[in-house]
């Protein structure tokens, strides 16, 4: 069956002497894998449309009950040229694509995820600063789409608002397995018999929690306005990585080390 869909290239690998196997995340079908015959020839019909992070119109011969389909045509809709001009942007874009590839299954359509991926890459491409915010925000929104949205705004035990914190005095804990925040007072009340006594309880700085709250609240198009220092960014990246690893399995096979 010949089908046509918008798609974003997640990765591309060499296949035999002249072809490529390409993974896409498509609007109509979710993740698809296809073989592009002759894609490595000097004069091939695909151009750059099969390169990672390309936003393309894909035409494939879709085979039922098959993981690998035949790519008939692929034309670039939009090229994120600025991503390839700035190394930091490119690394983040590849991290995002790698994460989508790692957590999704073939032909499991998710329009929200497709739109999040496209909007994030577009905004990252256009941004001039604070690039890491795009990776961290994407990860948090992805967790929400899959039903793992952490509660960052209130203490999970007493319900205290955690949106106005003293950056010098307040102490905050985050429970990885529940995606829950715990204030210092409640943490002191936790005893060995409590369900909160767990190795997944991690101490984080108030700045990190406030930064994460902004990432979730801010529109994707405005993420470059969120200022952060490297220490906060590093702690946030490590926290999110641990959270995603817990809920999606070990994601070390992709490059989530860039914070």
Averaged pLDDT for residues 168-178: 87
Residues near 43 by beta carbon (within 8 Å), at least 6 away in sequence: none
Q: What residue spans in the chain does CATH classification 1.20.1440.120 cover?
A: 82-259
Residue of higher predicted confidence among 220 and 63: 220
Q: CA–CA separation, 204 vs 7, rounded Å? A: 38
pLDDT at 126: 96
Confidence of residue 199 (pLDDT cuts 50, 70, 90): low
CATH code of the domain occupying 82-259: 1.20.1440.120
Is the pLDDT at 53 greater than 90, yes or no? yes
Q: What residue spans in the chain does CATH classification 2.40.50.140 cover?
A: 1-79
C-alpha angle with apex 104: 100 to 107, nearest 5 degrees? 120
Burial profile 28-61: b = 16 or more Cβ within 10 angstroms, e = fewer = ebbbbbbbbbebbeeeeebeebbbbbbbbebbbe
Is the pLDDT at 193 greater than 50, yes or no? no
Query: pLDDT tens across 9-39, in order?
Result: 999 998 888 889 999 999 999 999 999 887 7
Quick one: fold of 1-79?
A: OB fold (Dihydrolipoamide Acetyltransferase, E2P) (2.40.50)
């Amino acid at each position: 069956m010949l089908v046509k869909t918008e798609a974003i290239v997640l990765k591309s690998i060499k296949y035999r002497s002249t072809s490529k196997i390409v993974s896409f995340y498509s609007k109509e079908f979710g993740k698809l894998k296809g073989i592009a015959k002759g894609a490595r020839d000097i004069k091939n019909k695909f151009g750059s449309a099969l390169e990672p992070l390309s936003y393309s119109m894909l035409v494939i011969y879709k085979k039922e009950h098959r993981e690998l389909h035949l790519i008939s045509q692929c034309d670039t809709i939009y090229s994120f040229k600025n991503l390839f001009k700035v190394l930091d942007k490119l690394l983040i874009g590849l991290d995002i694509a790698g994460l989508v590839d790692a957590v999704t299954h073939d032909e499991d359509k998710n329009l929200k995820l497709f739109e999040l991926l496209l909007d994030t890459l577009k905004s990252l491409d256009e941004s001039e600063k604070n690039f890491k915010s795009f990776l961290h925000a994407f990860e948090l929104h992805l967790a929400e789409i899959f039903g793992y949205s952490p509660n960052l705004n209130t203490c999970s035990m007493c319900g205290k608002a955690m949106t106005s914190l003293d950056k010098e005095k307040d102490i905050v804990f985050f429970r990885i397995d529940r995606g829950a925040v715990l204030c210092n007072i409640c943490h002191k009340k936790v005893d060995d018999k409590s369900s909160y006594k767990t190795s997944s309880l991690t101490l984080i700085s108030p700045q990190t929690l406030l930064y994460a709250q902004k990432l979730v609240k801010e529109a994707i198009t405005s993420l470059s306005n969120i200022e952060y220092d490297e220490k906060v960014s590093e702690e946030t990246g490590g926290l999110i990585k641990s959270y995603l690893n817990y809920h999606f399995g070990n994601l070390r096979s992709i490059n989530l080390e860039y914070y």
